[in-house]
Amino acid sequence: MSSPDASRAQKMRLPLFTQKGQLEVPTPSEKDWSKDDEEGYVFKDPHQELDSLPQPYRMINKLVNLLFDRAWEIIEDRDTLREVELSRIRPTVYPPVFESKLSKRPRCIAVSQDYVFIAGAKGFSIYNLHDARQIYVYEKFKVEVMSIWATDLGNETLMAPVDETGVVRLFYLCKDGLFFIKTINEVDDTSKQTICVKMDISRGGDFAAFLIQGAGDTWLDVYKLPKESWLKEVEHPQMAVNPKKKAKQPQMDVSICYLGEVKLSLPVQIMKIKPPKPITGTLFKSPLEVFAKIEGCYGLGSGQNHIIKDSQWEQQTAIFNATYRKYLDGEWEEEPLSIATFHFLFPSCLTVMPTEVKSPPGVASVLGVHWTGRHNFFLYSLNRTLKDKVDPEGVWPSAAPIAASQLSDCGSYLVLACEDGVLTLWDLAEGLPLGIIALPEGCSCQSIHFLKYFLVHEGQNVYPEGPVKSQMSCVVLCTDTSLHLVTATGTQGPTVSMLVERPVKHPEEALCAVAPVPALPGMVLTFSRDSCVHLLDVARPHIVCAFVPPEPYHLAVPWKPVFAVSLQHPFFLLRGDHPDGDSDTPSSVFYFNFDSCSLLENVSKSCFIPRADLNAAGFPQALPLERRCESVLQKRFQKLENKVKEQEHWTRLRRYSLLLQRENVRK
């Protein structure tokens, strides 16, 4: 039998020498043994070795270790973000200058001239832009106002609020008097009520178009506005109900009065445009029969007139269904109604109109329309009546469906953006295309915003005085929230540059809205999902400053902010909401003045530069077209002359070299 000390010694674990790394079989000879092997051994305490855990404790141990590793990674990422935030240069933040307190959260804001129109629960309110003073309240609607469109007509303003039921009404603000004109789509039977989805008024206020939906259909109503008659009728008002009844005089603290009893001329409907019919088979047997049906060149390119038969369509449909059967099987959602985007265009050689049609200068003559999912941009003449046949006078086909379009405020430039990210730039005033350019791969256009053409002079963005031809710039907000600057000139091709990249690591910084600031050359307001409002200089590009409402107000819906930018004054308005409120909670509209910002106080006041200073500075864009052509020709002639002189110089050197070689041969 073994002694107790021996059994106790057998149970004890003695210290061991263990070799580091992977063990290898030593060579037979001791001479080949490495002397460094002595350093490869380490003393190990057997009591510190980890025994292999049985299941399920082994799995629990792995999960706990994984949990600690992930928690540590999150801690490191947060520390890194905190260091980046602390090292980031934060822009200067400016508070608002005025505040308009409201009893309910407004759905929309509009600005025209010196007036601010704010939507209300049963109407709208009118405020003064320069001191935020309320000057009139109109509350005669039955439901809440959802959107307001206000257009400057010179000294007058045409306003069109759209209520919650989709009813749109026209109001005329002239000489401190508010006049009601007409309800566009109101009906007696509420079951047949139509909805106004979108509207637009031409520059100058001669025409208006309303996109209407109802009874599973959609169409575009176009009206001619008798604004000249309105001015005469305001001077010599006629009462609609009682001629002896005097109009209400404004109160002491109110500078606008409602003159609903005054009857104004009604808009005249001139056109009703429906979406293009789907392309189907025809009975034409030859191209001659197709061209015989087309009157002149009107409608050419719409795709409606062809020689493809129904049997061919059915055959192609069957092939398509058989090829993609696994993708087509299952339930499909009902296709939404087609939505139109439309613009009022001025007379141009690009718009083919009848020869007998003569439009006065400065008055829109063509309505350009494109529908969702369609390739064509249709052109309709505005010189017609409701009885005339509604056919497009021109068609601009595109290689891909048109996703978005935008007309500049001056009406001289048009941009068509297709779903494949290709932009087509048109100079309507000069009648020529400025070029075609594609956005970076993977980018698709979401919205287009024109900038008034500007130059960088002595480190400052300025507007050149006088007219500028064939010079355009716009910012494009893409669906991936990246922002791009697109510029084009008549002599050079268009260019595209990145302004704001897609925030991959910080999705809360994604842009959701962009608005140009006409009072500040080359600057736009950007609204991000983290409720930040920044002023971006597109020429550098860099963030100039930021704007925030006072505490505790914030942007309740940052991905769809409610704001308005003045076209004539250095103001922009922003709705601020309480943190714990809903749509019925009191809210405020804040007024931001760019001139009150120390970084911008001199920008809007000195944003124009005389033409003489630009000529002295050597800006070719400031020169007239003839001078620019002359300058280009002179530069090319100078290059050609230098090239000829260089060739003559090398020719002389070669001749001299040949003469030297001949002399050496003779010697």
pLDDT, mean of each 10-residue run, the chain (667 residues): 45 46 57 55 58 80 91 91 77 92 90 93 92 91 92 89 92 89 85 89 92 90 92 75 43 65 90 85 74 63 71 82 77 74 88 67 89 91 86 88 93 93 91 90 92 86 83 93 92 88 86 93 93 92 92 86 93 88 78 90 77 61 63 77 82 80 75
Pairing of strands 92-94, 542-547: parallel
Task: Output the pTM of the full model.
Answer: 0.77
**Can you give the pLDDT at residue 598?**
86
Q: What CA–CA distance (Å, rounded) separates 399 from 376?
A: 9
**Can you give the pLDDT at residue 240?**
46
Q: Cα Rg for the chain, rounded, in angstroms?
A: 37
Q: What CA–CA distance (Å, rounded) separates 97 from 93?
A: 13
- Rounded to the nearest 10°, the torsion over CA 63, 64, 65, 68 is 120
**Can you give the pLDDT at residue 251?**
41
Residue 90 three-state SS? coil
Residue 463 three-state SS? strand
| Residue 119: closest CA among 103, 96, 97, 95 | 103
**Can you give the pLDDT at residue 512?**
93
- Greatest Cα pair distance, the chain, in angstroms, is 136
Contacts by residues 523-526 (CB-CB < 8 Å, ≥ 24 positions apart): 523/461, 524/449, 524/451, 524/475, 525/563, 525/565, 525/572, 526/483, 526/500
| Residue 117 contacts residue 135 (beta carbons within 8 Å) | no
**Can you give the pLDDT at residue 294?**
66
- Determine the number of helices (DSSP H) and then strands (DSSP E) in the chain: 8, 39
**Can you give the pLDDT at residue 7?**
44
